[in-house]
Structure 1
């Protein structure tokens, strides 16, 4: 019987500072409210949050043999993520992002690319994909995955019974070539609204979702921040409202939404209820600084669903 989650794709270190509303251009120190360093990225961020929610998680990614890579590995292992598939690339630097978060939640990002976009796709990773209950694919645009290796990995995972989710980060128009290869093996395609519009060429999210389903995705979940999520499942369209939270740092909300969705499915929740849980997961992450934000665990997140009001009432 397949068990656990394999997350594969972008692995980074995020350094989040809050609030930074302007630079002094002097050596004078400014006191701030929060500073957080945490593993992040579409794969590692989702892995970290899913593990915090109680899922059994393995991460296939890559870091350098620098101090940032050591911190990423330690952070993942601290919450129970299995890092045996996390490649350590000698002589390379870990992908890292410095995020200056303003008081209103807006942020400026300074990213060092590093090796995080080149996850391994070797026999060990394929074997784990074939034995996993869930595969979260966050590797579109990866130098080691695009052009066939990623699609072959998902083909084998699906053949062995895995449920496949897929997320994006900052795609270029050229990503559509890889998306066409990947989507026939994807159960839930989970782009943000901005990504869906950019890639589909339509500012109508319903049309965008239908486009991805035509390309092979079994279902589409488009994450749309405070407006909630559009879910197209079994030919039916559903609007899942977001929860009314007080956001501090929304950096990892998309990754945490995916993680919450998978964690809830793993507990036997229906896809639509899992989307609601995912929205609460993202909301709690937004209420703190860094990848985990104010998130505690699965039970606390479920309890929050019963205490937080909706941002926008359904209908």
Structure 2
């Protein structure tokens, strides 16, 4: 079996839909409310386990509260087939929570209360060293503490595990951390935060990618929404288009992309093939409402 490891956040998502996203100081009446399971780490783990082949096993390291949301998450993830031996319960803390506003075009604005996610520590990560020793790939984001992210990347590199960082939410990162990353997958906003370069076309995407290469990252994949993804390796870059669909909710699109990317690379697909696979998976996710409820299964990609 091939081991795929995801480290990251888990949230209960409170989703409100509107024709237009509320502006500062504006109050709008939501058309619909629903509670969804989300969090970038959990979404990516779910994407990986639903899109994997029969010879891959997905493990998820995270921190949950001691509430009913945590129990529901564990039940659902186990049903999907995720191994939760690295999932911690933090006493007297709530599970992470997100409030998501979605408009009629599928665009969203998200506010997050970290809850138990903030308590996933470097010590917790170190306790799971055996998982890192057997993992082929590590996929991680920035919704847990930077100390936990840094420790996970260090353990992965010590064990010759390929590292993928989805640098969300957008923030600046130092070179010590970037030097531990093999593949980075920012969107346009995250690329701006990392490089100071506004990505508006292929030329600016190339400039942002070169900036990240110069700081130690081998492969840069800048996701561009409906325009696809810009990939850059060894200074050579190109845009891989995504299928044209009617998007209604983009909440888990990036997470689906990242989970699918890890699965495909672990299968031995080329970078272009892996990004095409990831684009296809995320293009299905945006045609459905919700976070984990929108993520497709592998049989749907054929």
Normalising by structure 2, report the TM-score. Answer: 0.86
Q: How much has 1:289 moved relative to structure 2?
A: 1.1
Contact 1:154 1:185 in 2 (8 A): yes
Question: Which structure has more helix as a fraction of its residues?
Answer: 2
1:141 Cα deviation from its structure 2 partner: 6.4
| Pair 152,105 (structure 1): closer, same or farther in 2 beyond 3 Å | closer
Unaligned 5+ runs, structure 1: 304-315
Give a deviation string over 1:191-210, Cα, whole Å, max 9, x none: 11111012211122211111
Q: In 2 relative to 1, CA 213–94 (structure 1 residues): closer, same or farther, beyond 3 Å?
A: same
SS of structure 2 residue aligned to 1:4: strand
Tell me which of 182, 189, 194 is aligned to 2:184: 189
Shift of the 63–161 alpha-carbon distance from structure 1 to 2, 3 Å rule, reads same
Aligned mates of 2:253, 2:162 — CA distance in 1? 22
Residue 41 of structure 1 corresponds to which residue in structure 2?
39
- Residue 135 (structure 1) aligns with: 138
**Separation in 1, partners of 2:179, 2:128:** 20
Picking from 194, 197, 205, the partner of 1:199 is: 194
Separation (CA, whole Å) in 2 of partners of 1:297 and 1:201: 36
* CA distance in structure 2 between the partners assigned to 1:189 and 1:66 by the alignment: 33
How far 1:63 sits from its partner (Å)? 1.1
**Is the Cα–Cα contact under 8 Å of residues 63 and 87 in structure 1 kept in the other structure?**
yes
Q: Return the TM-score normalized by structure 1.
A: 0.83
Which residue matches 2:232? Answer: 232
1:167: which partner in 2? 166
1:1-315 correspondence runs (5 A): 3-18=2-17, 32=32, 35=34, 37-38=36-37, 40-54=38-52, 55-121=56-122, 122=124, 123-138=126-141, 140=142, 142-143=144-145, 145-146=146-147, 150-172=149-171, 175-177=172-174, 180-203=175-198, 204-301=204-301, 303=302
The structural deviation recorded for 1:294 is 4.4
Q: Is the 8 A contact 2:165 2:185 kept in 1?
A: yes
